[in-house]
Amino acid sequence: MAVIWFNKSLSLPDIQPLGPKTMGEHLGMEWVAVGDDFLKMKMPVDDRTKQPYGLLHGGASCALAETIGSVASHFVIDPDKFICVGLEINANHVRGVRDGYITATCIPLHIGASTHVWDIKIHDEREKLVCISRLTVAILKKP
């Protein structure tokens, strides 16, 4: 696939400034990789991201998916003309995780003028599938 990013030379240092003082920073999310048509981000499974049974909280997986997909849309659009906002997210939680890191990989299913749809797969450190998510993002003209 061709490079999908508005800035064709997008790299990890270009993404790093988006994290401070956000939910992503609070939950310990870190950027891992940028490809021509994908982003990767990891997040720890720790006291910030677990539910009472000691497992990764499904909401934390959704926060990771929403973060990576929304940022992906931001880097596809012309930021001088448009903004992007989450419209719909779904997630299937297929495996529990008690510790370590999970890694999300985000690829486009649809990049249109008014919507983007992202496929986000989250794996544990053994490369076992933890969560499958789909995020739809609305692309809006700046006022």
Q: Give catalytic residue positions.
A: 66
Sorted by sequence, the CB contacts under 8 Å of residue 7 that are 6+ apart come out as 14, 75
3-state secondary structure of 75: helix
Which strand (E) or helix (H) includes residue 68? helix 58-76
Please give the structure tokens belonging to residue 47: 């006291």
Q: Say which residues have a Cβ less than 8 Å from residue 95's Cβ, sequence separation at least 6.
A: 124, 128, 129, 130, 131
Amino acid at 99: D
